[in-house]
Amino acid sequence: MALRMTTPRLLALQAFLDDPGREWYGLELAQHAGLEPGTIYPILVAFESAGWLSSRDDDIDPHVEGRPRRRYYLLTAEGLAASRQWTEAVRRRRAPRVARPAEGIA
């Protein structure tokens, strides 16, 4: 699945790349990436639909823990490769260009 890459999506990918083996829950990831919670959830759904993330529900009793269940997300191997590819492409686009001398001019 081809995804349109936006700045919020890149920020989310970078957050995953900061610790690729870590499971993140939505609010925690949003805070780490500097995104609003309402922004992160559609991104997570899109990434999971693309096969870039796997997810699992928290295995807790919300009454005992005193908080709602969380859904944890983890980069898949495909997601890790895609994340690295996208962030590298953006880095190259943003890198300063070196001016080349025009042909025939010494």
Q: What is the pLDDT of residues 16-75, one digit of tens each?
A: 999 999 999 999 999 999 999 999 999 999 999 999 999 999 999 899 999 999 999 999
* Residue 15 placed within a domain: yes
Residues spanned by the domain of 68? 7-91
Q: What pLDDT score does 94 carry?
A: 76
Residue 101 region by backbone torsions, left for phi larger than 0, else alpha for psi between -120 and 50, else beta: beta
* Residue 104 placed within a domain: no
* Residue 102 placed within a domain: no
* Residue 49 placed within a domain: yes
Q: What pLDDT score does 13 carry?
A: 93
Q: What is the pTM of this model?
A: 0.80
* Residue 48 placed within a domain: yes
